[in-house]
Amino acid sequence: MLPNIKKITHRRENISAALLFDNFESPSFSSFAEKEAGYLKEKMASENEWTVFKQPLVFFFHKAKEGKAAWLQAESARQAGSKFYDVLKTEKITSLQIIGSSKNELTLPFLEGLLLSAYSFSKYKKEKDNYAPAEIFVLDDRVDEKKITELETLTSAVFCARNLVNEPLSYLTASRFSEEMEKMGHEAGFSVEIFNRKKIESLRMGGLLAVNKGSIDPPTFNVLEWKPENARNKKPLVLVGKGVVYDTGGLSLKPTAKSMDYMKSDMAGGAVVAAVLYAVAKNKLPLHIIGLVPATDNRPDGNAYVPGDVITMFDGTTVEIKNTDAEGRLLLADALSYAKKYNPELVLDIATLTGSAEIITGTQAFVGMGNSNENLLRLKKTGEDVYERMVEVPLWEEFAKPLQSTVADLNNLGVREAQTSIAGKFLEHFTDYPWLHLDIAGVAFLQEKDFYRPAGGTGFGIRLLYHFLKKFN
């Protein structure tokens, strides 16, 4: 539950506050005695953040760091908002105000960091951890009601994705995942069409069907669409998300510790796609956007697909299976081929695809690649703006060689070295349009809290794609 956020034109007395400023001349010290105000000004000369307790009130000060780029200033403000949230939670503060007087426009990112920190997943706990302030007042002439509403909607979308990623397989089967996306569509106003097993079989989506063979639960293929009458793009933008609701590795079984135990998060890409459609539709962006989410779990049943099998994909490509734990690319390949029917302007797929992506970036960035350099540059810039950063890797022709097979058109693994690029090269085979691939394996699920990114599902990629799409064309 998000706080009630209101714009104000004058500072309120007797309420906790965050003050965002550039220098010691700008903050107001009306709540402090003369000696206290003098002490605070001395602190400002050498420090950038500090908290003052005047029970029952709390005052948080954040000073912009001189010489930092605007996008780094914004991230410092988000992290400061997260720190302030932790103080508010400890002190159980219900009402606060944010007073922005910095020329660096810190108020909105500060509020964003605070709101994104107000998330918890307590569904399965007896003792709930659901603290959030009841009301927040915003005093900053450059922040209007429209921007606040947009941020609230985007935060809600992030929370939806976090909830989906945190749900265990005992609840979130592929069918239930589809139902949750239907609910999101009903609430936000986008359509959801769900293909059942029979429909998937009729379409001959061999990648999705192969991965599903070991499961007792049926697969789904989900088509999400937002098409407003005022859409400014004549050809749709297509988002493709990996929807593996649990990945054991199949018969190429993963180790349990530090590998399989959090594989409920392997559908994070699909959750991101659904959440982006939710935010886009709720905020009524004038864009025609389609989301494709193939969904199943990957289990080692007696009828599961095995290394050595040859499967036929949706587009007719035959693939030799070298490893059943390289399953995500099979689902995505079917969806990428299906996307051709829309004659898309651009396709972006997002997936927890390779462990090597996490080795490249750790928990700090996603790995990006694609065949559209202009859009890659735009994606990187947007990633800096929202601090969901990209490390680009190449798609050289040499990376296609390990995917050759003696018995089929391709194999699904390649070699260990450069695996993130090789996986991207596999996906590229199924595209004939401008395309970007986002590997979020290192950032979709965290073991420990990192400021406004919680332990568990993070919703990484939603803010990035929303703002990327918002600026499209």
User: Over the stretch 241-253, which tens digit does the pLDDT of each residue have?
Assistant: 999 999 999 999 9
Residue 39 has pLDDT above 90, yes or no: no
According to the model, what pLDDT value does residue 355 have?
94
- pLDDT tens-place string over residues 322-376: 999 999 999 999 999 999 999 999 999 999 999 999 999 999 999 999 999 999 9
Query: Domain boundary at 140, 169, 193, which?
Result: 140
pLDDT tens readout for residues 192-212: 999 999 999 999 999 999 999
Domain end residue (candidates: 140, 163, 185):
140
SS (H, E, C) 257-300: HHHHCCHHHHHHHHHHHHHHHHHHHHCCCCCCEEEEEEEEEECC
Same-domain status, 164 and 34: no
Q: Strand 365-370 relative to strand 346-351: parallel, antiparallel, unpaired?
A: unpaired
Q: Are residues 22 and 122 in the same domain?
A: yes
Q: What pLDDT does residue 237 have?
A: 98
Q: Are residues 191 and 101 in the same domain?
A: no
Tokens of 216: 């007792």
| Active-site amino acid positions | 254, 329
pLDDT at 218 over 90: yes
Q: Is the pLDDT of residue 52 over 80?
A: yes
Report CA 3 to chain centroid distance, whole Å: 22
pLDDT score recorded for residue 68: 92
Per-residue pLDDT at 45: 77
* Tokens of residue 199, six digits: 């429909």
Q: How many domains does the chain have?
A: 2
Between vectors from CA 52 to CA 48 and to CA 55, what angle results, nearest 5°? 165
Residue 149 within any structural domain of the chain: no
Q: How many CB atoms lie within 10 A of CB 269?
A: 32
The secondary structure of 169-210 as a DSSP string is: TTT--HHHHHHHHHHHHHHHT-EEEEE-HHHHHHHT-HHHHH
Determine the pLDDT at residue 34. 79
* Beta carbons of 413 and 322 less than 8 angstroms apart: yes
| pLDDT higher than 80, residue 176 | yes
Q: Is residue 20 part of a domain?
A: yes
Least confident of 1-10, 40-49, 74-83: 40-49
Domain end call among 140, 164, 199: 140
In a domain, 237, yes or no: yes
Go through the chain and tell me how many residues it has: 473
pLDDT of 23 reads 73
Predicted local confidence at residue 1, as pLDDT? 77
CATH no. for residue 212?
A: 3.40.630.10
Residue 146 lies in a domain: no
pLDDT at residue number 26: 56
pLDDT of residue 40: 78
pLDDT > 70? residue 8: yes
Q: Please, are residues 293 and 216 in contact by the beta-carbon 8 Å criterion?
A: no
- Regarding whether 270 and 369 lie in a shared domain, the answer is yes
pLDDT of residue 25: 60
Band (pLDDT 50/70/90 cuts) for residue 29 is low
Q: Which of 22-26, 259-263, 266-270 holds the top average pLDDT?
A: 266-270
pTM: 0.97
Confidence of residue 28 (pLDDT cuts 50, 70, 90): low
pLDDT at 73: 96
Neighbouring residues of 78: CB distance < 8 A, sequence distance ≥ 6: 109, 110, 112, 113, 116, 387, 451, 452
Residue 262's domain comprises 154-470
66 and 171 in a single domain? The answer is no
Instruction: Verify that 110 and 166 share a domain, yes or no.
Output: no
Give mean pLDDT, residues 410-436. Answer: 98
pLDDT(31) > 80: no
SS3 211: helix
> What mean pLDDT is reported for the chain?
95
Instruction: Please check whether residue 278 lies inside any domain of the structure.
Output: yes
pLDDT at 60 over 90: yes
Residues 365 and 446 in one domain: yes
pLDDT interval class at 255 (50, 70, 90): confident
- Mark whether 64 and 185 lie in a shared domain: no
Residue 304: predicted pLDDT: 98
